[in-house]
Amino acid sequence: MADTLGLATELQAVTGKGLTLYYGLNGDVNTATWYKVEGTNSVPIPSPAKTDIDVTTTEDDVKKSISGLADMADMSVDCNYYPNNSVHRYVVGTLAYDDTNIPWKIVGPYFACYFNGHIKTVTSSGTPDAKMTMNLTLKVSSKPQFVYADDVKAVITYNSTLAGDESTGAVTGSVVGTFAPNSGVTATFATDVTGTFTADTHYTISGVPAGLTAVLTKTSDTVATLTFTGTATNVTDVTNISLSFLDAAFTGATAAQTTGSTKSNIAITFA
């Protein structure tokens, strides 16, 4: 039969191996800092269910109905429980008691799924002769957004030469992000930006030591450079500065379509 719809003639089934679950803090699905929930054994994909609304009248020969709103089914996630893991501790000790909807994402073979939701229940259990487990019930409260591998239009890679001076608190060097479009795709840093990007419009940044100011500069259409001015009031080493580009930072791509739009482990060592 001719492929009149232009669909792929070769289909490849995949297993759930590699499915991973993350929650996000301090932002939305495009800007959050992501934390991986380790040890997952099963990760369901958000699934909608609709109810039928009966609109049959006395003049109809058969029953008629219209579709109601989609209700996202609860997600039951099973994990090994790691009490020495900071993410598991945060899930059990903080998120379990917080009814605020936060960003979540599932990353699997060839796709990622983003949604907002909150934890309804957390159950941890174990026996003397079996591993400890943790079950999360997630309530999905938004329409899931799926991004597939062929939707990814660009990749940002990073190189850091940051170094802190322990005696003065000054920071030298930079973090250079290089934007590499996928083959055949025209995507760059925003063409309307000249000089520096604007915080909260083009990017967000967190974890910067007090006394330092981040400066993000568009070096070229494919290169952005992060530097720091000022002097740190506390010269303790940091490893968790997080830089997130927003949609406005790009031309021809969105943050969700750009692998590396968030760099969450920027470090400064003072010596």
Concatenated DSSP letters for the chain?
---TT---S------STT-EEEEEESS-TTTPEEEEETTEEE-PPP-EEEEEEE---TT-SS--EEEEEEEEPPEEEEEE--TT-HHHHHHHHTGGG----EEEEEEETTEEEEEEEEEEEEEEEEETTEEEEEEEEEEE-S--EEEEGGG--EEEEEEE--EE-TTT--EES-EEEEEEEPTT---EE-TT--SBPPBTTTEEEE-PPTTEEEEEEEEETTEEEEEEEE--SS---EEEEEEEE-GGGEES--STTEETSEEEEEEE-B-
What percentage of the chain reaches a pLDDT higher than 90?
65
Q: Are residues 156 and 231 in the same domain?
A: yes
Q: Are residues 143 and 231 in the same domain?
A: no
Query: Looking at the domain assignment, is residue 1 inside a domain?
Result: no
Report the domain count for the chain. 2
Query: Looking at the domain assignment, is residue 218 inside a domain?
Result: yes
Query: Looking at the domain assignment, is residue 51 inside a domain?
Result: yes
How far is 222 from 188, CA to CA, in rounded Å? 6
Q: Are residues 166 and 238 in the same domain?
A: yes
Q: Are residues 135 and 106 in the same domain?
A: yes
What's the predicted TM-score (pTM) here? 0.57
pLDDT at 180: 80
Query: Looking at the domain assignment, is residue 91 inside a domain?
Result: yes
pLDDT grade for 17, boundaries at 50, 70 and 90: confident
Q: Are residues 177 and 251 in the same domain?
A: yes
Query: Looking at the domain assignment, is residue 2 inside a domain?
Result: no
Q: Are residues 137 and 83 in the same domain?
A: yes
Q: Count other Cβ atoms within 10 Å, centred on residue 263.
A: 19
Is residue 9 pLDDT above 60, yes or no?
Answer: no
Asked whether 171 and 212 are in contact (CB, 8 A), the reply is yes
Q: Are residues 25 and 140 in the same domain?
A: yes
Is residue 11 pLDDT above 90, yes or no?
Answer: no
Residues 131-157 have a mean pLDDT of 88
Lowest mean pLDDT among 5-19, 27-41, 84-98, 142-156: 5-19
150 CB-near residues (< 8 Å, 6+ apart): none
Q: Are residues 233 and 163 in the same domain?
A: yes
Is residue 113 pLDDT above 70, yes or no?
Answer: yes
pLDDT at 4: 42
Is residue 155 pLDDT above 90, yes or no?
Answer: no
Q: Are residues 162 and 174 in the same domain?
A: yes
Domain termination residue (choose one: 134, 149, 164): 149
Asked whether 86 and 73 are in contact (CB, 8 A), the reply is no
Domain that holds residue 202: 152-268
Q: Mean pLDDT for the chain?
A: 89
Q: Please state, in angstroms and as integers, the Cα–Cα distance from residue 241 to each residue in 117, 155, 210, 270, following that order.
A: 25, 20, 12, 14
Q: Are residues 117 and 26 in the same domain?
A: yes
Mind listing the pLDDT tens digit for each residue in 31-72? 677 899 999 999 999 999 888 999 999 999 999 999 999 889
- 191 or 216, higher pLDDT: 216
- 182 or 202, higher pLDDT: 202
CA torsion sign for 111, 116, 120, 123 is positive
Domain termination residue (choose one: 149, 172, 201): 149
Domain termination residue (choose one: 94, 126, 149): 149
pLDDT grade for 3, boundaries at 50, 70 and 90: very low
How far is 99 from 121, CA to CA, in rounded Å? 11
How far is 185 from 180, CA to CA, in rounded Å? 10
Residues 96-124 have a mean pLDDT of 91
Query: Looking at the domain assignment, is residue 11 inside a domain?
Result: no
Q: Are residues 46 and 161 in the same domain?
A: no
Q: Are residues 140 and 156 in the same domain?
A: no
Is residue 87 pLDDT above 70, yes or no?
Answer: yes
pLDDT grade for 150, boundaries at 50, 70 and 90: low
Q: What is the CA radius of gyration of the chain?
A: 23
Q: Please state, in angstroms and as integers, the Cα–Cα distance from residue 103 to each residue in 29, 48, 59, 193, 251, following that order.
A: 5, 18, 48, 29, 25
